[in-house]
Copies of this chain bind each other. A is one copy, B any other.
């Protein structure tokens, strides 16, 4: 259980693609999580000043290194929670789990690995991003009962090509297909998510793909002042949703306060916590 997190991660990398939604990947993710928790238990915790109303953050610290901000209410840090969740997924019975608890568990797995990399590598954004893709695409595949692809064939009159995409889940005829971009944070690059949705709408017809990006958080820490803020561009999101394409849901593990309010404007953009997906996935095509 107390293996090196990076060894456990390398093992997942090797076998991940074989069956993305399969139980072996969930077991491997559990090993990474408990290895990260063992590592983080030996690290210190530093309080951060949260400038976000109603949210508290801290950072893991080791020597001179400080991790990204960790949401105190979402972080569980108990490997048994993942074990219980794993067992429930295995039995295909999630009724004893609330959306909030699921969000906490998945957030804790994701942020533990991010914090481990923050404390052991220099400026490595790619490894946490790839792990987060593994974690979320596995859970999506489990929930939808089908493995994703990352390219899609385009036949268009005299044109035939393969378009690289984010994760695409094809549930079959007369059922929705899902378009799943996965990001640890978005900033100004988020316009790509809407643009890819637009391409899918244009090539295959509007409504065929449900766009459901999953994002970890939008926090940014001022290292010197130890202050945490959320970088949000809600007006730009509204313009993208009105003028580029329609995303069905935007799931966060740590929902930014400002984006949560987009549910209340008109036309609304549906921003919610990822735990909800497990209970509403079948209703999204309605």
Contacts and interface: CB of A to CB of B under 8 A. Distances in A.
A199 B243 contact: yes
Contacts of A154: 239
What are the 10 tightest A-B residue pairs by CB atom distance, in nearest-first order?
A202-B243, A195-B195, A161-B235, A191-B195, A199-B243, A198-B244, A191-B192, A195-B244, A199-B239, A203-B243
Given A154-B239, A191-B192, A244 B161 contact: no
A240 interface: yes
Interface string A145-163: 0000000001010010111
Tally of this chain's copies: 2
A18 to B, nearest CB: 26
A194 interface: yes
A84 interface: no
A84 to B, nearest CB: 39
Contacts of A235: 159, 161-163
A161 B239 CA distance: 10
Nearest to A159: B238
Interface string A179-198: 00000000011011011101
A51 interface: no
Contacts of A189: 189, 192
Interface residues of A, number: 27
B244 A202 contact: yes
Q: A192, A195, A196, A199: which has the most chain B beta carbons within 10 Å?
A: A195
A269 B67 CA distance: 46
A236 interface: yes
B239 A198 contact: no
A43 to B, nearest CB: 28
A281 interface: no
Nearest to A201: B243
Nearest to A236: B163
Contacts of A156: 239, 242
B196 A191 contact: yes
B191 A239 contact: no
A154 B244 CA distance: 15
A192 B189 CA distance: 8
Nearest to A203: B243
Contacts of A162: 235
Given A161-B235, A189-B189, A202-B244, 8 more contacts: A156-B239, A161-B236, A164-B188, A191-B195, A195-B195, A198-B198, A199-B244, A202-B243
